[in-house]
Structure 1
Amino acid sequence: MLLQSKIQYKHYEPGEFTSIAERTLAEAEELINTYPWEAQRYHQPIGFTSPSISFRNMEGDHLKLALGYNQKFNLYLFPAQQKPRKKTVADLESAIKDVRDFYHGNELEGFKQERFVFNPKKHFETKSFEYQVTPKRAWAFSWFRLGFFTLLTLYFPIYEGTAFAFAAFFPFWFVFAGVNLIFLINYWWYERDTIIKITAGQDNFWISRNGNVLHYNKKDVKEIRYYKSPGNRNPWSDNIIIELILRDGQALKFTNLLIPFYTLLGKFQNTPSNCIDKAFPFAR
């Protein structure tokens, strides 16, 4: 029987896997026995996303073999449409017995339900990590900037109920919401044909513009520069231009509409960043 299996290493983020393939039970056992468990233990937090090997059967159930505390191993069982369960075993051979039962479709025993796990699916299912501008992303980027400030600036005119009040408060709307709308349109137009695929755990990434895909390596990025309007109280200070400065002098430019700024920073653990003040950081 073939089941899908996949690997996570240190510094991988939820949904990031490698070596994804259909494997027999014998191949799965070899994968487990040759995985560098002890090397991956050093300074590594324990949890659903950690150095591990995951398996998925035809019914959509997931079993993840991961590191545990005190030289032990954790098994995380995530049956389809149910809550995740956990079991701790003393050694690798005990864990392999559960993997065998999972392959043969036998009932797994000794698992206890894990409570208060928000969105457990993200720890088991593979994510593409392709970032692009979609209606969902545009909404997440702009709902507060536009919606909240629009409601705020309309409150007093509606309360007063006069045409003069509406006219008087239009400049406030433009400063608090209108400028952010201009940024949204500018960033969307700049990124409308751009995709970036990048993960936290792997060095290689690529950027596609107008269908032209270029591949890069994080080790070639010497600095992250980002341009934003100074002042935390500035209504448009959350609009950011990002540049990845390569060692050859090339700058890879995109906006935080394409990928959230702190999401990107989390994928470059050891790369210095430099903030440059710019009153209106438009994309072009």
Structure 2
Amino acid sequence: MLQLISKLQHNTYEKSEYSDEQLRNVDETIQVIKDFPWDAERALTDIQLTGPSVVIQDNNLNYLKLGLYFNSKFCVYYLDNGNHLYEYYASTIDKACDLVKDFFEQTLNLSSFEKHFFNIGNQPHFVTSDFIYRVNPARIFVLAAFFSIYLLFAISVFCASVLHIGGGSYPIVLLLIILGLGIFIGSISSVAIKGRNQYLRISRGNHIFYYGIDEKHIKEYNKADVAELAHRTATSDRNMGNVQIRFKNGEFIQPKMLIHDMDLIQKFPENLGIKIIYPQNSLFKRSQSA
């Protein structure tokens, strides 16, 4: 009997996050659909592509996704391997399961489906992500380039000042500004270079996550053991490396240059009861993993 990959997405999961992914035949898949806690997860759930659902993938990379819709109905999404998205509203779970049978038998009739005319960003709602975060090599290159340019500029200004090029000495204020800028760029570059081999694997719906300064020192953590998140606020929510994860045993980690601050905070759902504090910069301790 034909088996296709099916997987589950619950209301605490983020885009591209799935669980219980495995091969199942049509009867097993329908049983999984009927056993899914639709009613329990319907409350306070937004109707969108990412949400409580069951996804089935065929051998040609076409996807069928059963999700929630208004008034106790179900929305059946179909995404073909050309990234064209269709949707159909089923009044009952049994009618939705009939479409699942057609999908397995490759007899799915799309004439009753509504076709989306704008097909941008569909695949991440169907494809599973590994949620592994690493330091982007391009970021290291850019920092190194900035530091190199700064050194050339600083040396040029220093030489010009010593040789009195231009008929006068350079003001001390300019030299202090250049020195301060160099310390700032150097500190960022140092953090980036030291943490270039970091590894972080974390998703919103999974309580287990992994972090290490390199692949040889990866450690497993549980969100249930997290006491608080210390967020050193910055001028931009897209900053990276300002969130310290503090555990109940006193340990803490602070991933650097791997994930934006707010994205990392969103990995810890509100129902876990983990508080977020905003310490002053001077009290923000350096990570033990740095």
TM-score by length of 2: 0.78
Instruction: Give the Cα separation in 1 of the matches to 2:130 and 2:252.
Output: 25
AA of the residue aligned to 2:122:
P
Deviation at 1:206, TM superposition (A): 1.3
Deviation at 1:34, TM superposition (A): 0.8
Deviation at 1:86, TM superposition (A): 0.8
**Equivalent residues in 2 for 1:131-210, closer than 5 Å:** 131-135=133-137, 181-210=185-214
The 1:190/1:104 distance shift into structure 2, 3 A limit, reads same
AA of the residue aligned to 1:262:
M
Instruction: Give the Cα separation in 2 of the matches to 1:272 and 1:278.
Output: 18
AA of the residue aligned to 2:246:
I
Instruction: Give the Cα separation in 2 of the matches to 1:4 and 1:20.
Output: 7
Instruction: Give the Cα separation in 2 of the matches to 1:44 and 1:201.
Output: 15
**Equivalent residues in 2 for 1:49-128, closer than 5 Å:** 49-109=50-110, 110-116=112-118, 118-128=120-130
Deviation at 1:134, TM superposition (A): 2.2
Matched, 1:212 2:212: no
SS in 1 for 2:70: coil
Deviation at 1:13, TM superposition (A): 0.7
SS in 2 for 1:86: strand
Partner of residue 245, structure 2:
244
Contact between 1:54 and 1:63, CA under 8 Å: does it hold in 2?
A: yes
Deviation at 1:195, TM superposition (A): 0.8
Matched, 1:272 2:271: no
Runs of at least 4 residues off by over 6 Å: 167-176, 279-283
Contact between 1:228 and 1:281, CA under 8 Å: does it hold in 2?
A: no
Matched, 1:130 2:135: no
Partner of residue 8, structure 2:
7
Instruction: Give the Cα separation in 1 of the matches to 2:100 and 2:260.
Output: 38
Contact between 2:209 and 2:220, CA under 8 Å: does it hold in 1?
A: yes
Contact between 2:241 and 2:259, CA under 8 Å: does it hold in 1?
A: no
Instruction: Give the Cα separation in 2 of the matches to 1:282 and 1:223.
Output: 16
Residues 58-105 of structure 1 deviation map (CA, whole Å, 9 limit, x = unaligned): 111011001111100001110011321111110001000111111111
Instruction: Give the Cα separation in 1 of the matches to 2:80 and 2:86.
Output: 8
The unaligned stretches of length 5 or more in structure 2 are 151-164
The unaligned stretches of length 5 or more in structure 1 are 151-162
Instruction: Please identify which structure carries the higher strand content.
Output: 1
Instruction: Give the Cα separation in 2 of the matches to 1:239 and 1:197.
Output: 16
Q: Give the aligned CA root-mean-square deviation in angstroms.
A: 3.2
Between the aligned residues of both structures, percent identity stands at 23
The 1:138/1:59 distance shift into structure 2, 3 A limit, reads farther
The 1:92/1:277 distance shift into structure 2, 3 A limit, reads same
Residues 107-126 of structure 1 deviation map (CA, whole Å, 9 limit, x = unaligned): 33311112445311110101
Deviation at 1:170, TM superposition (A): 8.8
The 1:253/1:273 distance shift into structure 2, 3 A limit, reads same
Specify the structure having the higher radius of gyration (Cα): 2
1:225 to 211, 222, 230: 230
Partner of residue 159, structure 2:
none
Instruction: Give the Cα separation in 2 of the matches to 1:187 and 1:98.
Output: 53
The 1:38/1:228 distance shift into structure 2, 3 A limit, reads closer
AA of the residue aligned to 1:267:
K
AA of the residue aligned to 2:40:
A
SS in 1 for 2:232: strand
The 1:111/1:214 distance shift into structure 2, 3 A limit, reads same
